[in-house]
Amino acid sequence: MTGFSSSAQAMSLMAFTTVATIILLLCVMTGPDGDDLDEFYTGYGSLSPMRNGLAIAGDYISAATVLSTGGVIALDGYDGVVLALSIALSLMLLMFLLAEPLRNAGRFTMGDVLARRTPGRAVRIAACAATIAALVPMMLIQLAGTGDLLAFILGFSSDSLKTGCIVGVGALMISYAAIGGMKGTALIQILKIVMLFGSGAIVAALILRQFDWDMGKLFSAAAAHSGVGPSFLHSGLEFADGPNPRLDMISSEMTVVLGGACLPHVTMRMYTANTARQVRRSMSWAVPCVALFMLITMIVSFGATALIGRETIAGADPTGRTAYLLGSRAALGADVSSAESFLFTLVTTALFLTLLASVASMILACANTLAHDVFASRRKETTPRREMTLARVSALAVGAPTILLATLVQHHNLQPLALLSASLGASALAPALVYSLFWRRYTRTGLLWTLIGGTLVTIVLMTGTNLVSGSPFSAFPRSDFNWFPFSTTGLVSIPLGFALGWAGTMLSGRRNAEEQRRQYEAVEAWILAGVTRRGS
């Protein structure tokens, strides 16, 4: 049941090549002029709320989100459903709490948002470092998984071919980011989300039809074929082998809810809206899109367990990352080869496009902050053409080492990297944004402590989890330096991130705090209400 027909594989290969070529041409045609910074960084806010909302949803739903969430649902049942709900809740939190202030305070990057409160080169450099630290692990897990995913789809096993896939796909992603800028990557995200929805809705409908459109029957069948019985539909299966399964669950959901939507490649879409009303309308499209796709992912993943069994899914990939593909394959059965080939091609092309779009947006976010916050801010008279060149060179400077690292770590379990990105978003970026946008007394010292301290604490704690060592499915299964009692760091690192910001502010002294209060009051109406158009 895990095999795919040669015709389906040939059609998928042809579709991958066609899609990659067409997108490159579209990026060339829609890319910015050589010296138009606003077009490169924000696309001039030319997208309608609907299209911008689809682009936000596309940025938020990465290939890692689709495959990893589907795997957790297929292998761990109820715990995976909670994860899917947390992903949707995270974007809702961004919509209601941060979206409008981000749009008002920012211009091109997260560094602009933070420097609005506490100007200075140190703040911009820290924001750049935190951005790259949060996004490189997410890029690594997706690039490193490219070879395995394409090998699974196309039916090859050669390590050299897998490495070639990583290098080739990575080069495409750098090209998309450098040539297309914000508008080009937005176009890719819109195409991706439409294809994901279309293919996913077809698969979900076919699966539900096999269970008489009864979700209860689907869940019961999944539990029956899970090998663990009723436990599949109850909390605790994902972290059952850990010393503190309940606390692990809480820690994981805290990390996803607070960190997922605060990652810089998602928040950069807030700066593309021209008005507060437009950003609200964009988010009103993005949130339902993400919620609906999480429902589709849940149906497809439960369908995979119900139709082919949890053991088969784990045999194909111990982390379950192929569950979404296997569920799509199982949706048709084995008796309609032409329909199977078409559906398989549709689903795999959507996933391939998701991979391209996700990493391209992350490279763009890293390149933007490196060019704008580090290099351009060093010289106040940097010309637009020079900054545009710096941004494009920065895309290569970030992308090339990431591709190299991905080829080196492709044979390790990279699940800790996805959690590391979310943890950095929750423990460093989220506290910095919340304090900067809403706390009048917040000082530069507090901000630097939040960004640097939250990042370092998270990285140190992550090295001690059982996802890195001490278990058969860890990144280093033959080693055991597991000293942290939880699988994720959120339960400790998130409170510490907020506490470091508070402590740094308190230790700055009353004089600095009063000065920061006055600075904040000068821009408070701007940040919270957007009373004037943001400047440089």
Classify residue 522 by burial, with Cβ atoms within 10 Å: 0-12, 13-18, 19+: exposed
Percentage of residues in the chain with pLDDT exceeding 70?
93
DSSP 271: G
Check the CA dihedral 62-68-71-77 and report its sign: negative
pLDDT tens digits for 468-498?
A: 887 777 778 788 888 888 888 999 999 999 9
- What's the token pair of residue 338? 């032409």
Per-residue confidence at 261, pLDDT binned at 50, 70, 90?
confident
Check the CA dihedral 403-405-407-412 and report its sign: negative
The CA-atom distances, in angstroms, between 425 and each of 72, 153, 261, 432, 478 are: 21, 32, 8, 10, 29
- Amino acid, res. 486: F
Percentage of residues in the chain with pLDDT exceeding 90?
34
Q: Determine the pLDDT at residue 123.
A: 92
Sequence-distant (6+) residues with CB within 8 A of 91 are 57, 60, 260, 261, 283, 286, 287, 290
Q: Determine the pLDDT at residue 535.
A: 42
Is the Cβ–Cβ distance between 300 and 207 less than 8 Å?
A: yes
pLDDT tens digits for 436-474?
A: 988 888 888 999 999 999 999 999 999 988 888 877 777
Is the Cβ–Cβ distance between 229 and 400 less than 8 Å?
A: no
User: CATH top-level class for 6-376?
Assistant: mainly alpha
**Domain spans, the chain:** 6-376
Classify each residue of 383-400 as buried b or exposed e, where b means 16 or more C-beta atoms within 10 Å of its C-beta: eeeebbebbbebbbbbbe
Q: Determine the pLDDT at residue 337.
A: 58
- What's the token pair of residue 486? 């939880």
Q: Determine the pLDDT at residue 297.
A: 94
Taking the C-alpha atoms of residue 54 and residue 362, their distance in angstroms, rounded to an integer, is 17
* Whether pLDDT at 240 is above 80: no
Is the Cβ–Cβ distance between 237 and 228 less than 8 Å?
A: yes
* Whether pLDDT at 174 is above 80: yes
Cα 515 from chain centre: 37
Classify each residue of 161-190 as buried b or exposed e, where b means 16 or more C-beta atoms within 10 Å of its C-beta: ebbebbbebbebbbbbbbbbbbbbbbbbbb
CA dihedral 354, 358, 361, 366 (to 10 degrees): -160
Per-residue confidence at 339, pLDDT binned at 50, 70, 90?
low
Per-residue confidence at 108, pLDDT binned at 50, 70, 90?
confident
- What's the token pair of residue 492? 């400790």
Sequence-distant (6+) residues with CB within 8 A of 264 are 109, 110, 131, 134, 135, 365, 366, 369, 429
